[in-house]
């Protein structure tokens, strides 16, 4: 979870006729640029006439605008091609459609989880958001949409109100945040509430009446801090989840009693083990398609309502996953240029997608930025819905995208 803050937005625009506009820059490829896409030329901003000092440049949502563009033109053609590899990810005609707007409520936050039997996408409201009153006084809610309704309006750029957002009655799931499929059901990380409702892993039946069962609510008798995200390793089918401080930072969980760590849980035996630490604020987690690598985001740059520390991580780390399920070598995989990386997922080719301050950023398996889906606002999470479909949560807005890429696989 990333805190929702009302702070000034700093947008940097490089000026000067000496730099070619990315829209008119020499194409790296002779391939046809899709209608909703544009090529971003790295060389257009390698050297800028003015580079502002950190006290002026840094802000909570830092949008770098390449020379020759502005915020509106960046959003008008939201698929930004930084490398030729992104053409194969997008396909010939990617589309992005705004399908819902929740007004003042931040209904579209995290836990994007596709349930194939009903072809629905589930997601959760922002927990701990002052505007919504969630956190200590009331829990957030779980909602879902029908993907057939979204597909019916995918040719439009703005189809707000055309897709029904159904809120579920799930009182046992307290301040949910992350989610994933598991054995025909959905596992949520629930952050808990106050001293007496501990953070836990809870599994929910995706079909009415949406009954749920708590799987884990402690580590040897000690409360977790506030569980954030969860993923299943496709190789060993074990459940891995992150534990961090956002419940405490957002004033609905007590002083932490454990390190910020990543845990491993075996559903069949009940065993739990810590597999990684050394993070500032561990957040999103996912695995490569074959399960040999784990990707974990660190949102340490954003300290909830305590402000921002720009020397802290806004980073994605990659871990080798050993045959026995333990974590091996850790490497810095990517550093995000806008806000910090939150939710993270791999496509079927092993490209790594991360939600961040300006939308989605996409990296190839070597950590090279190949493209963006630019929304001009924070995206905490998103997910594929099988082949060529994606649902993107942007707090008060919900988007549906079509493209060539497929998800890393539905783990039942």
- To the nearest whole percent, how much of the chain has pLDDT over 70? 90
Residue 24 has pLDDT above 50, yes or no: no
Of 212 and 7, the one with more pLDDT: 212
Domain ranges of the chain: 10-77, 87-406
CB-based contact 406:388 (threshold 8 Å): yes
Residue 232 has pLDDT above 70, yes or no: yes
Using one digit for the tens of pLDDT, what is the confidence trace for 100-120?
999 989 999 999 999 999 999
Average pLDDT over residues 271-276: 98
The segment with the largest mean pLDDT, out of 51-55, 59-63, 220-224, is 220-224
pLDDT (0 to 100) of residue 411: 60
Of 33 and 24, the one with more pLDDT: 33
φ and ψ of 88, to 5 deg: -70, -30
Using one digit for the tens of pLDDT, what is the confidence trace for 243-259?
999 999 999 999 999 99
Average pLDDT over residues 49-66: 77
Q: Which fold has domain 87-406?
A: Neuraminidase (2.120.10)
Instruction: Among 166-175, 203-212, 402-411, name the one with the lowest average pLDDT.
Output: 402-411
What does each C-alpha distance from 77 to 62, 97, 375 come to in angstroms?
19, 12, 10
Average pLDDT over residues 85-98: 98
Rounded to whole angstroms, the Cα distance separating 121 from 123 reads 7
pTM (2 d.p.): 0.92
Residue 13 has pLDDT above 70, yes or no: no
For residue 121, list its beta bridge partners. 114, 145
Of the candidates 406, 403, 380, 404, the one whose C-alpha atom is nearest the C-alpha of residue 392 is 380
Residue 313 has pLDDT above 60, yes or no: yes
What does each C-alpha distance from 135 to 11, 197, 226, 249 come to in angstroms?
31, 11, 11, 11
């Amino acid at each position: 979870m990333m805190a929702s803050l009302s702070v000034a937005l700093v947008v940097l625009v490089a000026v000067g006729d000496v730099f070619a506009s990315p829209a008119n820059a020499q194409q790296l490829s002779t391939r046809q640029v899709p209608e909703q896409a544009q090529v971003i030329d790295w060389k257009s901003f390698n050297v800028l006439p003015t580079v502002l000092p950190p006290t002026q440049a840094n802000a909570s949502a830092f949008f770098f605008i390449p020379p020759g563009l502005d915020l509106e033109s960046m959003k008008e053609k939201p698929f930004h091609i930084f490398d030729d590899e992104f053409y194969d990810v997008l396909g010939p005609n990617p589309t992005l459609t705004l399908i819902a707007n929740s007004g003042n409520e931040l209904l579209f936050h995290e836990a994007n989880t596709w349930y194939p039997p009903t072809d629905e996408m589930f997601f959760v409201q922002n927990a701990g958001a002052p505007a919504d009153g969630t956190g200590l006084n009331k829990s957030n809610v779980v909602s879902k949409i029908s993907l057939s309704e979204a597909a019916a309006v995918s040719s439009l750029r703005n189809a707000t109100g055309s897709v029904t957002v159904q809120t579920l009655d799930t009182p046992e799931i307290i301040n949910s945040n992350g989610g994933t499929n598991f054995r025909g059901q959905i596992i949520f990380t629930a952050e808990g509430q106050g001293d007496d409702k501990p953070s836990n892993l809870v599994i929910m039946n995706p079909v009415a009446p949406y009954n749920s069962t708590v799987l884990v609510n402690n580590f040897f008798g000690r409360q977790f801090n506030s569980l954030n995200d969860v993923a299943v390793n496709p190789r060993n089918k074990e459940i891995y989840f992150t534990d961090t401080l956002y419940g405490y930072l957002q004033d609905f969980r007590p002083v932490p009693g454990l390190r910020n760590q990543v845990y491993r849980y075996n559903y069949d035996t009940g065993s739990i083990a810590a597999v990684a630490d050394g993070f500032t604020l561990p957040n999103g987690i996912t695995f490569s398609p074959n399960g040999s690598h784990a990707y974990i985001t660190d949102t340490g740059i954003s300290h909830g309502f305590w402000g921002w520390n720009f020397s802290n991580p806004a980073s994605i780390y990659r871990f080798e996953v050993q045959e026995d399920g333990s974590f091996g070598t850790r490497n810095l995989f990517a550093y995000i240029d806008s806000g910090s990386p939150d939710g993270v997922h791999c496509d079927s080719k092993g490209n790594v997608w991360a939600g961040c301050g300006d939308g989605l950023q996409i990296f190839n398996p070597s950590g090279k930025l190949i493209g963006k889906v630019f929304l001009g606002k924070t995206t905490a999470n998103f997910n594929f819905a099988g082949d060529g479909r994606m649902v993107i949560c942007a707090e008060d807005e919900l988007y549906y995208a079509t493209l060539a890429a497929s998800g890393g696989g539905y783990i039942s």
